[in-house]
Amino acid sequence: AATLGAAAAGGNRYFGTAAASGRLGDSTYATVLDREFTMITPENEMKWDTVEPARGSFNFGPGDSIVNHAAAHGQRMRGHTLVWHSQLPGWVGSIGDAATLRGVLDNHITQEMSHYKGKIYAWDVVNEAFADDGSGRHRPSVFQNLLGDGFIEQAFRTARNVDPAAKLCYNDYSIEDWSAAKTQGVYSMVKDFKSRGVPIDCVGFQSHFGSGGAPASFRTTLANFAALGVDVQLTELDIAQAAPAAYAGAVQACLDVARCTGITVWGIRDSDSWRTGENPLLFDNNGNKKAAYTSVLNALNNA
Ligand code: G3I
């Protein structure tokens, strides 16, 4: 196949990208987006600070523009993200009691998922809730501090009730190396959720890698999570300097695991990336294919 999306589809996978609503009018950008990608994640438009900047006041315009684009071009959507400690408006952080926060959390998930019901393949229900410090524990946040560990379970249970057809994912970074304490912390949570019937369908491995690419254990990590009974996905792939071998290795880890259902890169052109100056994506600033593009396409076609 001649495009990333078509090549991935040969293995019943999707190949997606993050997209920004403000760039959809850029014809170079839109041309590559619609030629290559079969799944779209809004880079910022479905985050809490955009969607509910003031309590009970919802703004779906930016997200809608991406959803409408995807519908017009036959692309599916990953929803990103319902509950995250970052890009959280100040009014949420100022809530001082658990009962109020619990209600606000439920309402936010309910309103956002209801608005997009039937239009989202998978939601990142909770994003980046684990600490980086090697403790394997949750990171401090207003959610953690007021509601304790149970806030994640509450979010998933609420989400399932609102849109039973959407896949519900936990998404995080630095959980690709099997030996990392953070990986083990997330693994324990997913195992516990599955054993107690807490609704979780997938785990997103962000896959923001340095120039060496994925850790050697990445395939093992994906396979071990999949064995718990969840789909796994690479949700925000980018690699400093985009070495072709590093990209091919990261993609191959997914291709080697049957329940790895798709790969999303975190932007189209290097100039679209949040990693300024690292040239971590598959297309150059002019929208031309880089060497890493070819290595990824070949890996997908050879799967
Ligand atoms: O929208 C405002 C604009 O009004 C303002 O004038 C401008 C001035 O700085 O800022 C704009 O907001 C920026 C926003 O991107 C939209 O461009 C924010 O400052 C900036 O912080 C924000 O960065 C985003 C970042 O998440 C925030 O944490 C990146 O675009 C986005 O790529 C990045 O994505 C995250 C994933 O959601 C989760 N995993 C990590 C990943 C990379 O950080």
Q: What's the CA-to-centroid distance between 10 and ligand 1, angstroms?
A: 33
- Tell me the Cα Rg of the chain: 18
Known catalytic residue at 45: no
65 lines ligand 1 (CB under 6 A): no
Residue nearest to atom 43 of ligand 1 (CA): 274
266 and 40 Cβ atoms separated by less than 8 Å: no
For residue 270, what pLDDT is reported? 98
Atom of ligand 1 nearest to the CA of 267: 32
Residue nearest to atom 14 of ligand 1 (CA): 44
Q: Would you state the structure tokens that stand for residue 57, as one six-digit string?
A: 């006041």
For residue 29, what pLDDT is reported? 98
Q: What's the CA-to-centroid distance between 290 and ligand 1, angstroms?
A: 25
pTM of the predicted model, to two decimals?
Answer: 0.98
Known catalytic residue at 52: no
Q: What's the CA-to-centroid distance between 84 and ligand 1, angstroms?
A: 13
Angle (CA) 146-152-156 rounded to 5° is 135
pLDDT (tens, 9 = 90+) of the chain, 303 residues, equals 999 999 999 999 999 999 999 999 999 999 999 999 999 999 999 999 999 999 999 999 999 999 999 999 999 999 999 999 999 999 999 999 999 999 999 999 999 999 999 999 999 999 999 999 888 899 999 999 999 999 999 999 999 999 999 999 999 999 999 999 999 999 999 999 999 999 999 999 999 999 999 999 999 999 999 999 999 999 999 999 999 999 999 999 999 999 999 999 999 999 999 999 999 999 999 999 999 999 999 999 999
263 and 15 Cβ atoms separated by less than 8 Å: yes
Instruction: Identify the CA nearest to 175 among candidates 142, 217, 212, 141.
Output: 217
22 lines ligand 1 (CB under 6 A): no
ipTM here: 0.94
Instruction: Identify the CA nearest to 245 among candidates 298, 206, 286.
Output: 298
The whole-angstrom separation of Cα 289 and Cα 66 is: 23
264 and 17 Cβ atoms separated by less than 8 Å: yes
Q: What's the CA-to-centroid distance between 282 and ligand 1, angstroms?
A: 20
The whole-angstrom separation of Cα 158 and Cα 251 is: 33
